[in-house]
């Protein structure tokens, strides 16, 4: 790197250095990706569409992403992180009360997806067909949510190991059931009300609580 290039890279603009400006542009592209993918779908969205939404040239797109698929993966991870943070907050509101925790978390989930259909489309529709590498992202996301739920299951139902029940399998099954229900709900245009979705999904979690509460002698 010559002196002129080093000076350019070190120069600040609006108080931001080159790395900070690139990070800001990347964040704008992710926001634009959520808007365009979430509104039009992955298959109907071009790099030009994203850049127009972000008000950036394609040069800056390729500064951060090699191709459209890489941006979609980043948008997907952004959505997963957003939902996970909200779930953690919801689960913390009513600690030690399984019914309250379940309904709080489910209501947050369904409300977030209905209020922002872009999240639902990216996570539960386009993620299934966007590109081959999405399998890895989806599996990692499901494992992350399963691990989160497993921790709460073990805290709320410490007798599971004594009952020869595997908290990892139970958490994975519950997450899988919720994902399937959410996918169906999204594909049908959020036909059922949030109250209906919460009430019917809660039954899955209530069944676990009821089973654990059965005296060992009655099993």
pLDDT band at 57 (very low <50, low <70, confident <90, very high): very high
Averaged pLDDT of the chain? 88
For residue range 167-217, what is the model confidence (pLDDT) as tens digits? Answer: 999 999 999 999 999 999 999 999 999 999 999 999 999 998 888 876 555
For residue range 176-186, what is the model confidence (pLDDT) as tens digits? Answer: 999 999 999 99
What is the percentage of the chain residues whose pLDDT exceeds 90? 63
Q: In this predicted structure, what is the pLDDT of residue 11?
A: 58
Our measurement of the distance from residue 183's CA atom to the centroid of its chain's CA atoms, rounded to an integer in Å, reads: 13
Q: Which residues of 96-115 are buried (b: 16+ CB within 10 A; e: fewer)?
A: eebeebbbbbbbbbbebbbe
15: left (phi over 0), alpha (psi -120 to 50) or beta: left
Q: What span, in angstroms and rounded, lies between the C-alpha atoms of 77 and 140?
A: 10
Residue 32 clears pLDDT 50, i.e. is over it: yes
Partnered with residue 16 across adjacent β-strands are 13
pLDDT band at 13 (very low <50, low <70, confident <90, very high): low
Q: What span, in angstroms and rounded, lies between the C-alpha atoms of 99 and 101?
A: 6
Q: What span, in angstroms and rounded, lies between the C-alpha atoms of 209 and 28?
A: 44
CB of 90 within 8 A of CB of 151? Answer: no
pLDDT band at 1 (very low <50, low <70, confident <90, very high): very low
For residue range 59-70, what is the model confidence (pLDDT) as tens digits? Answer: 999 999 999 999
Q: Which residue has the higher pLDDT, 16 or 127?
A: 127
Written in H, E and C, the secondary structure of 166-218 is CHHHHHHHHHHHHHHHHHHHHHCCCCCCHHHHHHHHHHHHHHHHHHHHCCHHH
DSSP secondary structure letter of residue 165: -
What is the percentage of the chain residues whose pLDDT exceeds 70? 88
For residue range 75-131, what is the model confidence (pLDDT) as tens digits? Answer: 999 999 999 999 888 887 666 677 888 888 999 999 999 999 999 999 999 988 887
Helix H or strand E encompassing 31: helix 18-40
Residue 218 clears pLDDT 70, i.e. is over it: no
Coil, strand or helix at 4: helix
Helix H or strand E encompassing 37: helix 18-40
CA distances from residue 165 to 72, 96, 114, 159 in whole angstroms, order as listed: 38, 20, 34, 9
Mean pLDDT of 5-33: 76
């Amino acid at each position: 790197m010559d002196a002129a290039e080093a000076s350019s890279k070190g120069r600040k603009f609006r108080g931001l250095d080159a790395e900070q400006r690139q990070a800001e542009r990347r964040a704008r592209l992710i926001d634009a990706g959520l808007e365009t993918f979430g509104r039009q779908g992955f298959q109907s969205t071009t790099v030009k569409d994203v850049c127009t939404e972000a008000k950036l040239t394609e040069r800056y797109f390729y500064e951060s992403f090699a191709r459209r698929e890489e941006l979609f993966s980043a948008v997907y991870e952004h959505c997963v992180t957003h939902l996970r943070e909200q779930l953690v907050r919801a689960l913390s509101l009513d600690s030690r009360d399984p019914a309250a925790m379940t309904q709080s978390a489910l209501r947050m989930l369904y409300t977030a997806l209905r209020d922002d259909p872009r999240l639902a489309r990216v996570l539960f529709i386009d993620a299934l067909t966007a590109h081959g590498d999405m399998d890895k992202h989806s599996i990692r996301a499901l494992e992350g949510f399963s691990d989160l739920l497993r921790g709460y299951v073990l805290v709320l139902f410490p007798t599971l190991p004594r009952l020869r029940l595997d908290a990892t399998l139970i958490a994975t099954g519950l997450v899988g059931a919720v994902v399937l229900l959410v996918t169906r709900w999204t594909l049908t245009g959020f036909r059922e009300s949030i109250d209906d979705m919460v009430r019917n999904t809660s039954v899955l979690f209530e069944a676990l609580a009821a089973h654990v509460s059965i005296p060992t002698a009655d099993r």
